A and B are shown apart, each in its own frame.
Chain A
Amino acid sequence: AQSVTQLDSQVPVFEEAPVELRCNYSSSVSVYLFWYVQYPNQGLQLLLKYLSGSTLVKGINGFEAEFNKSQTSFHLRKPSVHISDTAEYFCAVSDSGGGADGLTFGKGTHLIIQP
């Protein structure tokens, strides 16, 4: 079975500083990878996805992520954060070869932007 590890449960960052949210997955097959954002008391919103092609993926709100197959990682980055980026961020993976599990989500990283 797949697993997703989000290494940090909380990441405090000052406004306008860069941020990286880490995500590692365990899978021996090809994968699809996703990042979601959840604002308080709202559903999850898709930030970006990697299905194939370029390993650098750009998403909404200025976020990007890089797929690193050798390190089984899909870290999320933003060069300059804003107060409005305060939210919970979830990494998710699925087996593109059609494994039975569908999407597997990490436990989330709470991004806290400090003024």
Chain B
Amino acid sequence: SQTIHQWPATLVQPVGSPLSLECTVEGTSNPNLYWYRQAAGRGLQLLFYSVGIGQISSEVPQNLSASRPQDRQFILSSKKLLLSDSGFYLCAWNFDRYYEQYFGPGTRLTVT
């Protein structure tokens, strides 16, 4: 069976510091991968998705970037965090863009 991991689970970072969040999927190959953000009390905002190694599509212009260095690894980064980057970051995967997505446990990021 497939599992999805995210780390760290929680993170507190000062404004202006860099960020690296990691997501890995086990038990499958060539998944579609997604990064979402949930701000407090809000719904899901799709940030990036990837259909293959090195293929990244950005949905929202911001100071975040994503990379997919390996088939089952998806990384969310920032060079300089803003207060507005605080939120709950979720990684997800699926086989087909039009079918259900499976979510990781999430990372709670607080920028201070």
**Which residues on A are within 8 Å of B, measured CB to CB?**
32, 34, 36, 41-46, 49, 51, 90, 94-96, 98-99, 102-103, 105-108
Interchain CA distance A44-B4 in the complex, whole Å: 12
Q: Which residues of chain B are near A103, meaning CB under 8 Å?
A: 97-98, 100-101
Count, chain B residues at interface, CB 8 A: 18
Interchain CA distance A20-B108 in the complex, whole Å: 30
Q: Tell me the interface secondary structure of chain B in the complex.
A: loop
Of chain A, the residue at the smallest CB distance from B108 is: A41
Q: Which residues of chain B are near A36, meaning CB under 8 Å?
A: 103
Whether B98 lies near A105 (C-beta < 8 A) is no
Is B43 located at the chain interface by the 8 A CB criterion?
yes
Q: Which of B44, B49, B99, B106 contacts A105 (CB 8 A)?
A: B44
- Against A, the Cβ 8 Å flags (1 = close, 0 = not) of B90-108 are 1010000111111111101
Whether B106 lies near A102 (C-beta < 8 A) is no
Whether A94 lies near B43 (C-beta < 8 A) is no
Can you list 18 pairs linking A and B with CB atoms under 8 Å apart?
Answer: A32-B98, A34-B100, A36-B103, A41-B106, A43-B92, A43-B105, A44-B92, A49-B100, A51-B99, A94-B99, A98-B98, A102-B49, A102-B98, A103-B98, A103-B101, A105-B43, A106-B43, A107-B42
